[in-house]
Structure 1
Amino acid sequence: MSNFLTSSIGKKIILSLSGLFLIAFLCVHLALNLLLIVDNSGELFNIGAHFMATNPIIKIVEPILAIGFIIHIILASILTLQNRGARPIKYDLRRQSGNCTWSSRNMYILGGLVLIFLLVHLWNFWWKIKFAGDPLLTEINVDGTAMENTYALVSGLFKSSIIYCLLYILGGIFLGLHLTHGFWSAFQSIGFCNQIWRKRLECLAKIFAFIIAAGFSIIPLYFMLGLAN
């Protein structure tokens, strides 16, 4: 077991599994965030945010998610350094670009950009909701249930800061580019490695990456265009 964990193949499999776990979280997070533009009253988003904050299963998954993200970052860093150490001489750029995409050659950089966006995102929302608090998070009553007005906090920042809206859009684009390679390569690492599956997964990766990038980008655009009340 220890040999597997320290081997390059073992690290790639764990990296892939943690990536797929994070992808599942992305889908849930995007579905919740899209409630921001489905209901201008904010009730649906507040109900969804309250459910995520109080559901016991979500509370168990949350620290596991954090651990999975940390593992993903550490293993990505280790494998990137190992690959660079094993290839001290740079490949000919023309040959490199012909064999792989720009996204696949810059996965670590894209991952770093996504991480920067995530930290800003956590500081503006998660930290305030969990610890610091904010005047906008006044308690409201929705269908007889008391909850924080998370919609006011999130929509308020989108309405008041064009810079944050643009940052959010860039974060969605960087995430989409990261997924164009990360999605199919994760499945490849766990066994879907023949040419037929690779072509299918590469196509699915592009579709999925576009949906994620467009889904996250449409939210700040909605507020920037003044479509919210």
Structure 2
Amino acid sequence: MNKLLQFSSITGKVIMALAGVFLVTFLGVHLGINLLLLSNDGGRSFSVAAEFMSSNPLIRIFEIVLFAGFLVHIVLGLVVSRQNRASRPVGYVVTNRTETSFLSKYMLHSGIVVLIFLALHFSDYYFVKIGLVAPPEGIGPHDFYAMTLHLFSSTWYALFYIFCFALLGLHLNHAIQSAFQTMGWNHTRYMGAVKVAGTIYSIAISLGFMVIPLYFILFR
């Protein structure tokens, strides 16, 4: 039974890591599209990209895979966190205060905040697109540029958006390193480069998304 539980725990971590790698890749694509919001063309470029993403049959299949990836990563993250806590019910007398330990300690907390943001984000965009949520008054269900202008007209919403992506950057920084370790790819010869690349990618993703609401706050 102990061997079965251990195998189940390792399998869960591997699947969670693979789902996380998929989501990390998706974030880069999503950011590339969202940065079109900064084009000085009245939202034309962004609207064309959004229309392609919402009408292409392959993208619709990808959306299902994306939802599955989010669901698997979130559920297994909660399960693994619970298993880790159960394996050491008494806290350590001496805590390792390294940067990695700090990020690892608050992975669950940052993940919960990101989950709340995702629920809000889907409600503001995806659920509006498929008709589950009514769009803001005077805005069409597929006019994502107008929706973005409407949402970022609220300073509080924009600041919450920035806060969530700051946490996401911390979450990604540890998650990328953790995924490599879980998959057994943490060779001493190149793990240092992986950590540097993961940190750079995490900062680029979080800052890229944070720039968008800042732009709308300052220049719109």
TM-score w.r.t. structure 2 length?
A: 0.91
CA contact (8 A) 1:137 1:153 kept: yes
Counterpart pick for 1:219 among 194, 201, 212: 212
Q: Residue type matched to 2:78 in 1?
A: S
C-alpha separation in 1, matches of 2:123 and 2:181: 34
**Per-residue displacement from partner, 1:74-133 (whole Å, max 9, x unpaired)?**
11111111111111111235x321483321211111111111111111112222222134
Whether 1:96 and 2:96 are equivalent positions in the alignment is yes
Secondary structure of the structure 1 residue equivalent to 2:190: helix
**Per-residue displacement from partner, 1:144-194 (whole Å, max 9, x unpaired)?**
xxxx43211112221x20010001101110110101100121122222122
Residue in 2 that maps onto 1:201: 194
CA contact (8 A) 2:110 2:167 kept: yes
Whether 1:126 and 2:126 are equivalent positions in the alignment is yes
C-alpha separation in 2, matches of 1:88 and 1:155: 48
TM-score w.r.t. structure 1 length?
A: 0.87
C-alpha RMSD over aligned residues = 2.0
Residue in 1 that maps onto 2:87: 86
Q: Residue type matched to 2:30 in 1?
A: H
TM-fit CA distance, 1:137: 3.6
The runs of 5 or more residues in structure 1 that have no matched partner are: 140-147
Distance 1:86 1:163, change over 3 A: same
**Per-residue displacement from partner, 1:195-214 (whole Å, max 9, x unpaired)?**
23321111111101100110
Q: Residue type matched to 1:156 in 2?
A: H
Residue in 2 that maps onto 1:143: none
Q: Residue type matched to 1:71 in 2?
A: V
Whether 1:150 and 2:144 are equivalent positions in the alignment is yes
C-alpha separation in 1, matches of 2:105 and 2:24: 20
CA contact (8 A) 2:110 2:168 kept: yes
Counterpart pick for 1:183 among 171, 176, 186: 176
The runs of 5 or more residues in structure 2 that have no matched partner are: none
Whether 1:23 and 2:17 are equivalent positions in the alignment is no
CA contact (8 A) 1:188 1:198 kept: no
CA contact (8 A) 2:22 2:69 kept: yes
C-alpha separation in 2, matches of 1:39 and 1:54: 24
Residue in 1 that maps onto 2:110: 110
CA contact (8 A) 1:18 1:68 kept: yes
CA contact (8 A) 1:114 1:171 kept: yes
Whether 1:39 and 2:62 are equivalent positions in the alignment is no
C-alpha separation in 1, matches of 2:188 and 2:173: 17
Q: Percent identity?
A: 37
C-alpha separation in 2, matches of 1:34 and 1:136: 25
CA contact (8 A) 1:77 1:108 kept: yes
Secondary structure of the structure 2 residue equivalent to 1:96: coil
C-alpha separation in 2, matches of 1:214 and 1:99: 20
Q: Residue type matched to 1:150 in 2?
A: F
TM-fit CA distance, 1:5: 10
